[in-house]
């Protein structure tokens, strides 16, 4: 499978606080993609750090590991079927973007 490469404007978010990167992503045309509550990760959206992000209004949260560096996954979509997956490290609301990928949620 060939993945489209990231735009420079998308990869610039690595190392930034997610709460600062998110409005910039939305301004660039990325739309938060809601992960289904009925899907395999649905219940995890309400647990621990993921639940905290959900309460903050980050509807694009898919899940958080809750251990180690506490990685969390956030999903965005864009016209033409493009997808963006943001991975963060740390606790809400101070999580930092650690990875930006052109991947779609499995849900």
Residue 96 exposure: Cα atoms within 13 Å on the Cβ side: 6
Q: What is the pTM of this model?
A: 0.84
**φ/ψ (deg, to 5) at 9:** -65, -25
Q: How many CB atoms lie under 10 A from the CB of residue 23?
A: 9
Distance, in Å, from the CA atom of 90 to the CA atom of 2, rounded to the nearest integer, reads: 30
pLDDT at 32: 96
Distance, in Å, from the CA atom of 26 to the CA atom of 18, rounded to the nearest integer, reads: 12
Express each pLDDT in 7-58 by its tens digit: 555 779 999 999 999 999 999 999 999 876 655 555 666 677 888 998 999 9
pLDDT at 40: 54
**φ/ψ (deg, to 5) at 27:** -65, -30
Distance, in Å, from the CA atom of 56 to the CA atom of 94, rounded to the nearest integer, reads: 12
Distance, in Å, from the CA atom of 93 to the CA atom of 104, rounded to the nearest integer, reads: 24
Q: How many CB atoms lie under 10 A from the CB of residue 28?
A: 14
pLDDT > 60? residue 3: no
| Tokens representing residue 35 in the block | 């992960």
pLDDT at 11: 79
């Amino acid at each position: 499978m060939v993945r489209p490469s990231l735009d420079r404007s998308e990869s610039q978010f690595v190392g930034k606080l997610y709460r600062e990167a998110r409005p910039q992503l939305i301004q660039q045309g990325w739309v938060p993609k809601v992960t289904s509550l009925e899907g395999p990760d649905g219940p995890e959206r309400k647990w621990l750090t993921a639940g905290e992000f959900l309460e903050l209004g980050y509807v694009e949260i898919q899940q958080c590991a809750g251990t180690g560096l506490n990685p969390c996954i956030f999903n965005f979509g864009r016209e033409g079927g493009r997808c963006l997956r943001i991975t963060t490290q740390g606790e809400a609301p101070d999580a930092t973007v650690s990875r930006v990928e052109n991947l779609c949620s499995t849900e």
